[in-house]
Amino acid sequence: MDYPEALAYMHGRLRLGVKLGNARMEALLARLGSPHQTLRVVHVAGTKGKGSTVAMAAAILQAAGYKTGQYLSPYVYDVRERIQINAAPIPQADFARWVTAIKPHIDALEQSDLGPTTEFELKTAVGLCWFAEQAVDYAVLEVGLGGRLDATNVVPRPLVTAITSIGYDHMELLGHTLPEIAREKAGIVKPGVPCITAVPTGTDAYEVIANTCRPPPAYTPNQAAHSHSPRLSAHSTMCACACVGRSSRPTPPSLSLPWMPLTPTTRRP
């Protein structure tokens, strides 16, 4: 397929709508060589603020000298905005090549009990495959919807997770109360992986996230002092709690949080 054909094929899958669940996405990625398992991931969920948090985290990593992929949702002008490396969208040729490569696996899965792959799942697979192929140092991923059953929630162990805020969104899929919605978004939390949140302490939503994390998510004193403000976002929390080092020849840094330091990793060949 050329780019217009690949784009038409992808958009043609919009008719399938939203189909939450991880099994089909995991099966598709397994057929593609499990590219997601090679990535160092920052995974961001939340009702509001997650897109700007992804952009800020990716910008910090890029400014520190790291080759950084970012996966955003949704796009504004061009679908390729969703898949970027160092703030540059995936080239049309690479987009078409990966859609073409993935299509036979989608066709095979469609004949199984897992059923047809959605447009969002295909876009996510293209992004993960391209990031792995280009050997990015980090991939910052924005959840599409919810968290627990989102197509991005296939990374077994991200470096860090973030939940920006909890509000009433997609209630027909995520639940009708803030604790129910928080439980779905907290589905991105993984054992032993730090979680950063801007959800105010003392709220039911925060308690859900805290109980999922054990220990509770990092929370800055400045944020606590302003927890009443509706303008509170996760940007300052991410910057305050996750420090990225700088060196003349970059190697992946240790992202240190006050209560759970990460073990430094080494650069892939």
The enclosing H or E element of 137 equals none
Q: Which residues contact 33 (CB under 8 A, 6 or more apart)?
A: none
Written as six digits, the tokens of 37 are 């398992």
256: helix, strand or coil = strand
Taking the C-alpha atoms of 174, 219, 194 and 177 in order, what is their torsion angle to the nearest 10 degrees? -10
Sequential pLDDT tens for the chain (269 residues): 999 999 999 999 877 767 788 999 999 999 999 999 999 999 999 999 999 999 999 999 999 999 999 999 877 778 899 999 999 999 999 999 999 999 999 999 999 999 999 999 999 999 999 999 999 999 999 999 888 999 999 999 999 999 999 999 888 888 889 999 999 999 999 988 999 999 999 999 999 999 998 755 555 555 544 443 333 333 333 322 222 222 333 444 443 333 333 333 333 43
Q: Which residue has the tokens 């080092």?
A: 245
CA pseudo-torsion sign 44, 95, 84, 137? positive
Determine the Cα–Cα distance for residues 86 and 136; give it in Å rounded to an integer. 9
Q: What contacts 230, CB < 8 A, 6 or more positions away?
A: none
Instruction: Collapse the DSSP code of 233 into the 3-class scheme (helix H, G, I; strand E, B; otherwise coil) and give the result.
Output: coil
Structure tokens that stand for 98 in this block: 């990966």
Query: What structural domains does the chain harbor?
Result: 3-241 (3.40.1190.10)
Provide the token pair at 252: 């992946």
Q: What burial letters (b/e) apply to 205-224, b meaning 16+ CB within 10 Å?
A: bbebbbebbeebbbbbeebe
Distance between CA 7 and CA 98 in Å, rounded?
A: 11
Count of CA atoms in the C-beta half-sphere (13 A) of 253: 20
